Amino acid sequence: MNNESTIHVHGAEIETHEIHHDGNGHPHHKETFITKYIFSQDHKTISKQFLITGIIWAIVGGLFSVLFRLQLGYPGQSFAILETFFGKWAEGGQIKPEFYYALVTMHGTVMVFFVLTGGLSGTFANLLIPLQIGARDMASPLMNMLSYWFFFLASMIMLSSLFVETGPASGGWTSYPPLSALGQASIGSKIGMDLWITSMAMFVVSSLLGNLNYIATILNMRTKGMSMTRLPLTIWSLFFTAILGVLSFPVLLSGFILLLFDRNLGTSFYLSDIFVNGQILPNEGGSPILYEHLFWFLGHPEVYIVILPAMGMVSEILSINSRKPIFGYMAMIGSLFAICILALLVWAHHMFVSGMNPFLGSFFVLLTLLIAIPSSIKVFNWLTTIWRGNIRFTPAMLFAIGFVSLFISGGLTGIWLGNATIDIHIHDTVFVVAHFHIVMGVSAFFGMFAGVYHWFPKMYGRFMNNTLGYIHFWITFIGAYLIFWPMHYEGLAGVPRRYLDRSIWTSFNQFGDLNKVITIVTIVVFAVQLMFVFNFFYSIWKGRKVRTLNPWSATTLEWTTPVNPGHGNWVGEIPEVHRWAYDYSKDGRDFIPQTEPVGANETTEH
């Protein structure tokens, strides 16, 4: 990067900042409630907006899973509460099949996109990029604000689809056509599906605005001395996440637009030879497999979009709380890069039994299993990071350790599924549900929780309650394993996904008691998440106040800002960086901040 231009940019930044300060007395510069909290261009406020919207969505998505777990644990039993919630969709207290599928679809869509993409990347990219690279704000604060408001718009459209008469989309979060293209095939493929597609299109716009901004900011706005190889790993992971998003979301959008055409304009991109509900359709020559390719070209990178930021935050938190540098910094960047490249080349492992040419499948087996190499490098490096450390178990640290444990468990079953031979048997069974919930669902949530507990002091100038944090961690961690570990066994027995009642099957009805246990644990775990939400909001106003600038004794730049930084982050000049972000326990010192010049007698190794 060109250093001169940075200095120049920052010079200009400081100037505007000072003008801003001088202008505080003038009415047209004054921040009103609206510019400060609603249409804010401050990256910190936008990050909070993403986080709180994400939390609300997580409650909705989580609640849906609890409700359909009731059906799975107790098929045939009626629950008055379901009729209270859903009216005609759960007459007599039992969820109707078409609504069960709507719930699963919404649970998936909401969790994957609105919580773990919007809520996770949106929150931490916005909060951490300017603070950790030493910038006053994003490259384009306006685009950043728009990114949130498109996300909000997408949220509103998705939410409204829950209330239309024919119900929300119900073709699964993947929405394969022809099911999702034909209103005759499923009630959820009527107006609900159009709203789903529109909402997702808005989401893609939001994600592109955000991601381009993140990339531009990381490349151009680093403070003096902050070379790329001095960046904390959080920034590297958010950088690769943004690149993945920019490269793959447009493909998803194109797939959705073709689907919209098939639905409303009579085209035949995905439709051919269809006799549905007694009606012969005129469409010929389309291919549903085309949609699968377009969808998974995003769908697979998406799981890395979800997990990479979590990996970055976990690396940072493990290092800080072990009081040790992250082990193999360059290898960590290299493995992030490898994951980023491979993520774009493995999508068809979701399609081994879709009718795709088996020869083509074999390449995807190879490429998919290759991902295990950078993943295992990361795991071993995390293990070495905590080895011979001096570990502080803050709630954030516990969640980071939990993340590593879950990532190992879920990652290893990925080696099963990525191998086409085994996939034939366990494809689309409950085994898959167990695998991806552990490896990208729960562990991404763990990364997010770790991030929230760790950076809450920076966000609100207060701490979250520790005791509640510990209870939250232990119940969630034990619960996650209790819920998803036994599901592997159901999957090995061949129990298909998305079966709301297995009683008519002689091969799949042997897990009745297990399903009840899972449902009960789910309810408990969900209740504890509500407790976390309570802790979060309570602590914003009533939490213990942060009294030092650097409560975790960390090296990175965000802890050099005031406890409650204003728009512009640093009062006066932005600090200059002289070293990498991981000088912990070096030369007998607990930590050396990035802003401290390298001493004459210092060990030179990194």
Partner 1 sequence: MSSFWIIVCLILGFIITFQIAKASEYVAILRGEERTRKENNRINAFMLLAFLVVGLVGVWYCNEKLKGKILGEAASNHGEKIDTMLYITLAITGVVFFITQILLFWFSYKYQEKSDRKAFFFPHNNKLEVIWTVVPAITLTILVGFGLYYWFQITGEAPKQAMVVEVTGKQFGWEFRYPGKDKKLGRKYYKEISEGIGNPLGQIWADKDNHDDIYVSQEAHIVVNKPIKFIIGSKDVIHDVGLAHFRMKMDAVPGIPTTMWFTPKFTTKEMREKYGPDFNYEISCDQMCGKGHFSMRGTIVVETQEEFDRWILSKKPQYLAAMEMQKSAPAVTTTDSTSVQTQATTSIQ
* Nearer CB in complex with partner 1: 236/570: 236
DSSP assignment of 303-331 equals HHHHHHHHHHHHHHHHHHHHTSPPTTHHH
Integer Cα distance of 510 and 502 in angstroms: 9
Least Å from the CB of residue 573 to partner 1: 30
* Nearer CB in complex with partner 1: 228/338: 338
Count of CB atoms within 10 A of residue 434's CB? 24
The tokens describing 583, both together, are 């000088």
* Nearer CB in complex with partner 1: 41/267: 267
Least Å from the CB of residue 106 to partner 1: 14
Least Å from the CB of residue 24 to partner 1: 37
Measured CA distances, 595 to 205, 208, 319, 578 (Å): 37, 33, 18, 6
Integer Cα distance of 360 and 420 in angstroms: 11
Integer Cα distance of 58 and 70 in angstroms: 18
How buried is 524 (Cβ within 10 angstroms: 0-12 exposed, 13-18 middle, 19+ buried)?
middle
b/e string for 168-189 if b means 16 or more Cβ within 10 A? Answer: bbbbbbbbbbbbbbbbebbbbb
Least Å from the CB of residue 375 to partner 1: 9
Least Å from the CB of residue 183 to partner 1: 12
Integer Cα distance of 338 and 373 in angstroms: 9
Least Å from the CB of residue 518 to partner 1: 12
* Nearer CB in complex with partner 1: 172/566: 172
Integer Cα distance of 99 and 169 in angstroms: 10
* Nearer CB in complex with partner 1: 24/421: 421
Least Å from the CB of residue 579 to partner 1: 12
Evaluate whether 242 touches 214 at the Cβ level (below 8 Å). Answer: yes
* Nearer CB in complex with partner 1: 9/379: 379
Least Å from the CB of residue 361 to partner 1: 7
* Nearer CB in complex with partner 1: 41/174: 174
* Nearer CB in complex with partner 1: 25/588: 588
